[in-house]
Every structure is written in structure tokens, then in C-alpha cells.
Amino acid sequence: MNNAIELNGVGWKAGKGFELRDLTLRVPTGSIYGFLGPNGSGKTTTIRLFMGMMRPDRGDIRLLGKQVPRELPRILARVGFVPERPHVYPALTVGEALRYHASFYPSWDRSWSGDLMERLDLDPVRKISRMSKGETGKLLLLLALSQRPDLLVLDEPTDGLDPVVRRDVLTAVLDYVSETSATVFISSHLIHELERFCDWVGVLDGGQLVAELPMQSFKNGIKRIRVSNAPHVPGDTPFVILRRSGIDALGAMETWTVRGWQDPMRQYFEGVGATLRDVIDLDLEEGFVELLRSARPNNHRS
């Protein structure tokens, strides 16, 4: 499988306060990759590293098959970027901002840009300083898409936007992907938003990648199961136990939260003399919380 983004053993430390530790990440070409994590987990730092804004202390980074930072100018010509904070001059109008950015990109598509500006309901003579946060968010996306990127990197693109603007932004992204098969890397803490359209997911917590897998596996593979006569030492399980909890008053029932569940794994319990009473589906947010909880020290059993 070809990858649009590859990080291998990347490390970066900010004094004593924060560290990315041996981050290895793969974003398949043509995928919509959701990068999940709580605030402060290192999502924006990761983006700044692979976009060449910061240099890692160690490790290797490649975008679109080329090495960062050695081939950065050639890479960035093919990457559309919507940062967490606006990067436009407030004194310009929408039209002036478009012309300014167009001068940097040979691939800029003026016809497509005009069509998209109309779809996003942006006024070319409106000054950026007088625009709402939602209008500014749509302008940032317009600038990123107008260059016809092979890779679109979005850092919290809908944070703080109202539902109507959020829908407009995400619809524009999905329409572009369906037309071009571009790769999208979208960082967010809005879990349910990503669940609807991402086909891959990476979960970051405390500077470490907790999980990276297809979205369908993430949604279907994390379960809460109720087990009676559970063994004290589970042994070699066919799934990963994230947490054991909820022993009842008689000591005969436990609730396990597991990752990598498949229905044939029910046979495991017969082999250890236990009984599987129930398998409970979790929504994406519950699965996300359980992954974070299991990755943090002293939280494997409660």
C-alpha cells in the first residue's frame, strides 16, 4: 500500500512539558484519515512536523513519497493546508486573498476557485477583517482547494463553527475527494463528526499513537462484554483486553472492554471455563475513551 504521509520513529521534545515519542504513522494514499486526540495530545505538533514548520529531534518523515524537509518546496506545491489558526491578511478582501495565494501555486485553478467561492457563499469584495469565524473558515478551505492539492491537511477545520457552516465545509471536502481521489488528513477532537466519512483513524494521546486502523475495524472491533466465572489470569486471549471492571457482589461477573473483537472469539471462553453472557456495541466516542483510558498508567483494571 502506498502512503501519502509516513512518519517513522519521529521524536520531538519541548523542554520538560511535552514529548512526541517514536511516532510511527501511515496515511494510505486516497484515504480520508481522521487524527483523533484530546486537546494537548500533540495533534498540531505532529502536523507542524510533517509540514516542515518544525524539525524533529529524530526520525524520518515523507510526504507524497518525498523526504521532509529536503524536498519540502516540491511537496508543498501539492499540499493544501488549513491550519488551526487563520493565516490570511485581514486587510485584504476575499478576491485579493485569492489572487495573492494564486501567485504561489502553478496548479491554481481559477475557474474551480470561482465556482467554489460561489458554492461557499463568499463575497469577493468583502474584507477579511469584517468576516465571521465561519466565513473565515470557508475562505481557508477555498484557498486550500483552489490549488487542486493531492494531499489536503486540515487541523481542526470546523472547531467553533456553527452546524450549517460545518456542513458546508465538510461537503466541499467530500465533493473534492470524490472528484479527485485526493488524500485527506483531518485532525479533530470532534469524534462523531469524523465517524461519518473517515475510512482510517489514528488516536494520539500524550504524544504517543494509541491506535491506527481502518475506521470500520475501530467501530466494530471495540466491545464491552459481560463474563461470568472469568479467569483471574486470562492467558493468551484472541483479543486485547483494554479494561476489566464491574465485579458483582458474588464475584461471579465481570465486564471486559476488549479491542479486536470478532464473533468466533466466543469459543475462547469455553476453553477457560467461563461463560460469555453479553456482547455490547460501543459508539465511536465510547471506544475512543476506552482506548485513551487503557493507554494511561494504572487504568487497565478498576
**Do 200 and 104 have their domain in common?**
yes
CATH number at residue 240: 3.30.70
**Do 89 and 55 have their domain in common?**
yes
Residue 302 falls inside a structural domain:
no
Could you give phi then psi for residue 160, rounded to 5 degrees? 85, 0
**Do 201 and 232 have their domain in common?**
no
**Do 152 and 43 have their domain in common?**
yes
For residue 261, which of 276, 294, 239, 235 has the smallest C-alpha distance?
Answer: 239
**Do 119 and 34 have their domain in common?**
yes
**Do 186 and 231 have their domain in common?**
no
**The pLDDT of residue 291:** 81
Residue 300 falls inside a structural domain:
no
**The pLDDT of residue 248:** 56
Residue 58 falls inside a structural domain:
yes
Task: Write b or e for each residue in 166-201: b if 16 or more Cβ atoms lie within 10 A of its Cβ, otherwise e.
Answer: bebbbebbeebbeeeebbbbbbbbbbebbbeebebb
Q: Which of 167, 187, 206 is the last residue of a domain?
A: 206
**Identity of the amino acid at 19:** E
**The pLDDT of residue 158:** 80
Residue 111 falls inside a structural domain:
yes
**Do 202 and 223 have their domain in common?**
no
Structural domain span for residue 285: 217-295
Q: Which of 206, 229, 249 is the last residue of a domain?
A: 206
**Do 97 and 43 have their domain in common?**
yes
Site of grid cell 524539525: 55
**Identity of the amino acid at 164:** V
Q: Which of 171, 206, 241 is the last residue of a domain?
A: 206
Cis peptide bond N-terminal to 90, omega within 30: no
For the chain, what is the domain count? Answer: 2
pLDDT along the chain (302 residues), means of 10: 92 86 95 91 93 94 94 93 89 96 92 92 95 91 95 88 84 91 90 83 90 87 90 90 73 84 92 92 84 68 40
For residues 274 and 288, give the distance between their C-alpha atoms in angstroms, rounded to a whole number.
27
**Do 195 and 235 have their domain in common?**
no
For residues 118 and 122, give the distance between their C-alpha atoms in angstroms, rounded to a whole number.
6
pTM over 0.95: no
**Do 138 and 224 have their domain in common?**
no
CATH number at residue 178: 3.40.50.300
